[in-house]
Amino acid sequence: MLPPTDATPDDPGRRGFLATSAGLAAALAASSIASLGLPGIARAAMPASSPATQHGVNPMSSFVTVKDGAQIFYKDWGKGQPVLFAHGWPLSSDAWDPQMLFMGSNGYRVIAHDRRSHGRSSQTWTGNDMDTYADDLATLIEHLDLKDVILVGHSTGGGEIAHYVGRHGSRRVAKMVLVGAVPPLMLKTATNPHGTELGVFDGIRAGTAGDRSQFFKDLAMPFFGANRAGSKASEGMRDSFWLQGMAGGVKGQYDCIHEFSEVDYTEDLRRIDVPTLVIHGDDDQIVPIDASGRLSARLVKGAELKIYAGAPHGLTATHAEQFNRDLLAFAKA
C-alpha cells in the first residue's frame, strides 16, 4: 500500500518558497523567450489575476477550493479571450509556460492549473479520477467566470478537457485543441487494435510505485524523442520533466495511470460541438497517433487534424515555435 500524503498549500513557508521559485523561473523564462523575439515579453508586465493577496497585490497565481476541500493551484495571466491549458501526466501547469507567455503576449488571457495530486495542488488520497478532474476544472472555470474559453489539453489533459465537455457541456467553451491527447482510448482491446498493451501500463505503475525518480528520468527520453537521431530535446527539457513529476504526489500519479490508459473517451469526443483542432506528432512514442489523434479527429464533428512530421509526445516543448504559431492562428480564426 502506498502511504498517504496530505501536504497542502496552506503552509506559509511552502507558499513563500513556491512564490519565490515561481517568480525567479518566470523572470528567467521571460528573458530567454524575449531573445526569440516574442512581442512585448521583455517590455510589458503581465496583467494580474483577480484575487488579491493580504498585502494588496494582485497575484498571477492562486488556489481554488473544490467540493471535497482540495485546493487546486492555477496561474491566471493577461487580459483578453481566455485560453485554458490542461497539462499531461505526471507534469504541472509549468509545462505550459512557453505557450502562456506567447499567447499572453499576443492579447489573450491565459490560465493553467495543476491537476489535483500534481504540482502545487493538494495531494489527495481519493478523487484521482477523471470524473473528479473534470469537476475540478468546472469549479475553476466557474470560479473565474470564464466565457468563450479556448480549452487546450495535452496528453492526459486532452482527456480532461474532453471529459469536461462530456460531463458539463460546452456552454462556456468557444474552441478546443487536443495535443498528443490520450482520447479516445489508449488501451489495446478487441475493438481498439492499435492501442497499447495493458502490460505497458502495468510497467508504468511499477515504475511510479518503485524508484519514481529514476523512472521519470528514463521516461523523459521517449517523451521528448531524445532517443531519436537529430532530436530537438534539450537536457533542460528532461530536467524540467523530472522536476515537475517529482513535485506531484505518488498516490495521485499512480491512480492517474488508469485514467489516461483505460478510460474510454469516445462518447465525450462525440459530444464536442465546438471547433476543434487535433495536433499530434507522427513519432509519438507515448501516445501513438493511430490509436489517438487520427481517431479523435474522426470522432469530433468537423475537427481539423494537423500532423507534425517526426514530432514526439512532448512537441509543445520540442516544436514550441510551430505549435505556438498554429495555436495562435486557430485562436484567431
Ramachandran category for residue 271: left, alpha or beta (phi over 0 → left; psi -120 to 50 → alpha): alpha
CATH 1.10.8.640 fits 12-332, yes or no: no
DSSP 8-state class, residue 118: S
* pLDDT tens digit sequence for 47-63: 333 444 333 445 788 99
268 in Cβ contact with 165 (< 8 Å): yes
Contacts of 245 (CB under 8 A, 6+ apart): 90, 91, 212, 216, 253
* pLDDT tens digit sequence for 303-315: 999 999 999 999 9
* pLDDT tens digit sequence for 244-289: 999 999 999 999 999 999 999 999 999 999 999 999 999 999 999 9
> Residue 153: is its pLDDT beyond 90?
yes
Local structure of 291: helix, strand or coil = helix
Reading the block at residue 187, the C-alpha cell is: 488501451
| Residues classed as catalytic | 155, 284, 313
Reading the block at residue 315, the C-alpha cell is: 512537441
pLDDT of 58 reads: 55
* pLDDT tens digit sequence for 190-241: 999 999 999 999 999 999 999 999 999 999 999 999 999 999 899 999 999 9
Q: Which residues of 75-90 are buried (b: 16+ CB within 10 A; e: fewer)?
A: bbbbeebbbbbbbbbb
pLDDT of 224 reads: 98
pLDDT of 151 reads: 99
315 in Cβ contact with 179 (< 8 Å): yes
Tell me what the mean pLDDT of segment 69-78 comes to: 98
**How do the domains of the chain map onto residue ranges?**
12-332
DSSP 8-state class, residue 93: G
pLDDT of 208 reads: 98
* pLDDT tens digit sequence for 7-44: 444 444 444 444 444 444 444 444 443 434 444 433 33
* pLDDT tens digit sequence for 83-138: 999 999 999 999 999 999 999 999 999 999 999 999 999 999 999 999 999 999 99
Local structure of 281: helix, strand or coil = strand
DSSP 8-state class, residue 172: T
Task: Tell me how far CA of residue 18 lies from CA of 13, 68, 98, 143, 226, in angstroms.
Answer: 9, 24, 19, 23, 29
